Chain A
Amino acid sequence: AQSVTQLDSHVSVSEGTPVLLRCNYSSSYSPSLFWYVQHPNKGLQLLLKYTSAATLVKGINGFEAEFKKSETSFHLTKPSAHMSDAAEYFCVVSDFGNEKLTFGTGTRLTIIP
């Protein structure tokens, strides 16, 4: 069975400081892992995805995530937060060969000016 746990429901950072959004996963097989972002009144947008290639994955808008199998983690980071990063972020897992995505409960990121 596949599942994800997002360890923080809310994260607040000051503009220009680093962002860390934490995610742990559970998967029976070789997982694919994703981060999606949801801005208010907009659709879900893929930030980045891991599918068993390089463990450090770079995404859009300066975000990146590192797949750590030993820790079953896939944390999302960004070196310097921007006001436009304020949104809801979802960590997502999909078992190999399984079409459906399993979403975490989301982390709301607030950027303090």
Chain B
Amino acid sequence: GAGVSQTPSNKVTEKGKYVELRCDPISGHTALYWYRQSLGQGPEFLIYFQGTGAADDSGLPNDRFFAVRPEGSVSTLKIQRTERGDSAVYLCASSSRGGSDTQYFGPGTRLTVL
């Protein structure tokens, strides 16, 4: 079956611009996660959705970062006033119900801020 998909696969933008990154989870999965992976590092947690609501956004680095999941399926990560330090691979994962259910990862979006 289809896995987690993310678009675009690559995004190049200029400092100060606004970007949106999209995640399509596995159909029927209620839990959705965003992580960020900087070069040479392991992924770091950003935010977790259960259904439409953000159950844990403790990993968002500052108020320039925001994520939504309005219908409990597709999610969009939004970054305002991008900075060069935002350059990273943004990963999305989904799991069936959350908790100890396995998280399945998408291929990621590589964001480059010039």
Contact = CB atoms under 8 A, between A and B. Distances in A.
A36 B105 CA distance: 10
B80 interface: no
Contact of B99 (A43, A44, A99, A101): A99
A90 interface: yes
A50 B33 CA distance: 20
Interface string B69-84: 0000000000000000
B51 interface: no
Contacts, number: 55
A100 B42 contact: no
A41 B106 CA distance: 11
Given A43-B106, A44-B105, A99 B43 contact: no
B3 interface: yes
A4 B17 CA distance: 35
B48 A90 contact: no
Interface residues of A, number: 21
Question: Which of B3, B93, B99 gathers the greatest number of chain A CB atoms within 10 Å?
Answer: B99
A105 B93 CA distance: 19
Interface in B12-36: 31, 33, 35
Interface string A87-113: 000101010000111111110000000
Contacts of A46: 102-104
B48 A99 contact: yes
Contacts of A42: 107
A32 B43 contact: no
Question: Which of A99, A102, A104, A105 gathers the greatest number of chain B CB atoms within 10 Å?
Answer: A99
A99 B99 CA distance: 6
Interface string A12-49: 00000000000000000000100010000111111001
7 contacts: A41-B107, A43-B91, A44-B93, A90-B42, A101-B33, A101-B35, A101-B43
Top 4 A-B residue pairs of the complex, sorted by shortest distance between their CB atoms? A103-B42, A100-B45, A44-B105, A43-B107
